Structure 1
Amino acid sequence: MHLSHSQQMKMDQQMKLAPRMIQSMEILQLPLMALQERIEQELEENVVLEQLQDDPENRSETEVEVEREKAQDSEHDTELLSERELLVDNDHNNEADFERLMEMSQEWSEDNSPSGSRVSSNRMDDISDRQHDAIANLTEQADTLQEYLLEQFSFFECDDELREFGEYLIQNLDKNGRLQSSLAEISQVYGRIIDIERAEEALQLIQKLDPPGVGARNVKECLLLQLTDETPFRDVLVTLITEHFEDMGKNRLPVITRKTGYSIELIKAAEEELRKLNPFPGRGYEEVSVQRVTADLKVEQDDDGKWTVELIDEYIPELRISPRYIRMMQNNPDAETKAFIKKKVESATWLIESIEQRYGTIKAVAQAIIDHQSDFLENGPQSIVPLKMQQIADVVGRHVTTVSRAVDDKWIQTPRGLYPLKRFFGGGTTTADGEEVAWENIRRKLKEVIDGEDKQSPLSDDALVDALAKEGLTLARRTVTKYRKKMGIPSSRERREY
């Protein structure tokens, strides 16, 4: 074997995001309230950053002394800096910053408020009066569905085997309140030996809990669990759910009539009761929160009739670098203190510049959007036109990903209401006449036509094509079918009312 050493030159390309670019993208993508929180955090952590209306010269001697001690205590300030250290890290590839940036969109998701209900009295027939009274006084909303069920389950009188397996089953319910696997599969992975009959007994106890329908193994069982002796058309509903569930979903009422002998009127009456049942009894207990929506911009019409966009910055404080710390950095002989203050000043400067850049980018993007969709402001939703982000990127001279971040979670107040900026983007189709029509207009017209149809003789897709043509939209049948399905509108047979 022959070993040798040699030198070679190799050229390759690598993309490295500068810390300043990472921070600018991060600040650009933040919603208004999130930006306010970020600024408040920076004001707490960075001693050289202050609001412009604050006058540091008027602070008390105690406040000045406290800040001077912070500036001189390098160890303490290093801890304060730890969270944002990567923003000024020029020695690495900033992988952590990039990962944090990619996770931002998930951190600011829009959700709904949780809701719950008290225990229904007719669900606890097997519990003593004393236990029923205790359950009736449970808190109206537990933190999670599992906690709510476990609290109720604790009032059952059963042996340890049933109690422990029942608690295990509750932990295996999904967000809809149904079992995630079959009872046999859950029993096998339980970790202890339990007879399937005992497992079934524990499940039956859970199925008596509130909300009605929890502990079901499928949708049919979930609906059947909600039927009581007082439910109108109970026997008819049992037959429809167990034997004709698919036919009900496809609105095949004549088929059901032929197989069961029930009249159309009876089936429709039972169907009304079926609609009152909840196939997802656990969903009201998801831990979610409502995020406040605040307009980032507003659009108004000037005297010349031009629509102009203005930023709403009343929620964002005006920032500056503290002059006192600038003097300390210039005059303090201690090298460590000067280095600390310099790093803080650099971080504060980058934040201020990123916010200013954010303002400019969002305003330019929003103005370009409004210029393109001015007919929407003049005439309403029927005048919206197809618009792609690349078109706006070309107008403002920015990359399309920058435009995407600029409009993400940003809202604009218009004379026609409060809208997310993303609302003005959307595709469309080209009619047979060569005219571009926005998806929004097709959706609106299609809904109007279907809402106005004769429900006993609903329009087929071919008839919808003709009806839309009368409204000025000349579309192919396949296009109408595609958009009808996108809107979740059933076929004409399924829409028919008997």
Structure 2
Amino acid sequence: DCLITQLELNGRGNSVAARIVRDYFKLLVRRRIPELSRKTGTTTDDIQTAIEEIATLDPAPGKRFSADSNTVIEPDVTVFKDDYGQWQVVLNNDYIPRLRISGVYKEMLAKGTLSKKEKDFMLERMRSGKFLINSIEQRQQTIERITREILSFQSDFFEHGIAKLRPLTMNTIAQTVEVHETTVSRAIANKYMRSPHGVFAFKYFFTPGFTSSSGESVSNKSIKDMIAHLIEEENTAKPYSDQKIVDLLKQKEIKIARRTVAKYREELGILPTNLRRRYD
């Protein structure tokens, strides 16, 4: 229904593409171009053009409204290499409130004119204020320590990009930073890092993965990147099957199941083999 709605909004509600989606979707999925041609009374070229039009539609348009696509993300941390080739970690403290204990309260306490009740109340408020200030400072220090450990562990990513992202768990970082795993989880919640390869949510760096036959750890995000690259470079007249992609990854010493390739391909929004094939 969402495909038909998009076609109608584009003024294409009576097009060949709309007829195929509405009446012959099973034939579309099975890529039965000659049969679609007969059913619709059009040429195979018309069917190919219609399929290409359908491929431009969004199968899950609601996802685009899950977050404001125009929202500007202000990174909490920036990681960059300085002029001397050294990696630097800089926290963005612009959004952190600059808090301090007012000197007026200290003067009032020093004068000794307050009653015991007033003095106790003021001391309690000052202790609460100091606790808040220390908590904010400690949180920033924790974020910086976590960032430095991510930088150390994912050094290949920062040097070479997504393809070099390694599998990493929050527990690994927690043990190194010497805090509880839940502390790491809370510290990085809704936090973003600017890197030489773009702005990423902190959670992006924590990903499961596989071990290649050579013993190298490869993250699932790196594997997805490889799959996308293979499909991008494929011959569209003879697109790779999921099993073929399994075989090609095996040549790179990465052994994963065909169903895993299919899952990653779907998560990347890439059509199956029969819908990627083009007839020139």
- Measured against the shorter chain, the TM-score band is 0.7 to 0.9
CA distance in 2 between counterparts of 1:382 and 1:283 reads 26
Secondary structure of the structure 1 residue equivalent to 2:193? strand
Counterpart residue type for residue 19 of structure 2: T
Q: How does 1:401-416 map to 2 (within 5 A)?
A: 401-416=182-197
Show CA shifts across 1:452-496 (max 9, x none).
111121111222123223445344434433322332323212221
Correspondence 1:369 to 2:150 = yes
Looking at structure 1, the residues matched to 185 and 244 of structure 2 have their Cα atoms a distance apart, in angstroms, of: 39
2:211 partner amino acid: T
Contact persistence 1:456–1:496 (CA under 8 A): yes
Partner deviation per Cα, 1:20-63 (whole Å, 9 max, x = no partner): xxxxxxxxxxxxxxxxxxxxxxxxxxxxxxxxxxxxxxxxxxxx
Distance 1:307 1:321 in 2: 35
- Give yes or no for contact 1:329–1:337 (8 Å, CA) kept in 2: no
Q: TM-score, normalised by structure 2?
A: 0.81
| Alignment match, 1:222 | 5
**1:497 aligns to 2:278 (yes or no):** yes
Q: Following TM superposition, where does structure 1 have runs of at least 4 consecutive aligned residues deviating by more than 6 angstroms?
A: 275-287
CA distance in 2, matches of 1:454, 1:431: 27
- Could you tell me which of 243, 248, 251 is aligned with 1:467? 248
Tell me the TM-score normalised to structure 1 length.
0.48
Q: CA deviation at 1:253?
A: 2.5
Q: Which has the higher contact order (CA 8 A, sep 6+)?
A: 1
Match of 1:328 among 89, 100, 108: 108
1:390/1:250 CA distance change after superposition, 3 Å: farther
Number of residue-to-residue matches in the alignment: 278
Secondary structure of 1:321 counterpart: coil
Cα offset for 1:272?
A: 5.0
CA contact (8 A) 1:298 1:311 kept: yes
Q: Do the aligned residues in 2 keep the contact of 1:455 with 1:497 (CA within 8 Å)?
A: yes
By how many angstroms is 1:245 displaced?
3.0
Of 255, 280, 286, which aligns to 2:35? 255
Task: Kindly state the Cα deviation for residue 390 of structure 1 after the two structures are TM-superposed.
Answer: 0.7
CA RMSD of aligned residues (A): 3.5
The 1:242/1:483 distance shift into structure 2, 3 A limit, reads: closer
Distance in 2 separating the partners of 1:271 and 1:221 = 13
Decide whether aligned partners of structure 1 residues 402 and 278 sit closer, same or farther in structure 2, where only a CA change above 3 A counts: closer
- Aligned to 1:295, which of 48, 72, 75? 75
- CA 1:479–1:315: 2 relative to 1, 3 Å: closer
Question: Which residue is 1:344 aligned to?
Answer: 125
Deviation at residue 224 of structure 1 after TM alignment: 7.3
The one of 411, 416, 431 equivalent to 2:212 is 431
| Cα deviations by residue, 1:163-216 (Å, 9 ceiling, x for unpaired) | xxxxxxxxxxxxxxxxxxxxxxxxxxxxxxxxxxxxxxxxxxxxxxxxxxxxxx
In structure 2, distance between residues paired with 1:293 and 1:220? 31
Counting only pairs closer than 5 Å after superposition, residues 195-234 of structure 1 correspond to structure 2 as: 218-219=1-2, 222=5, 226=9, 234=14
- Give the percent of matched residue pairs that are identical in Structure 1 and Structure 2: 36
Q: Deviations over 1:132-151 (max 9, x none)?
A: xxxxxxxxxxxxxxxxxxxx
Bigger radius of gyration among the two: 1
Unaligned 5+ segments in structure 2 are none
Instruction: Give the AA of the match of 1:359.
Output: Q
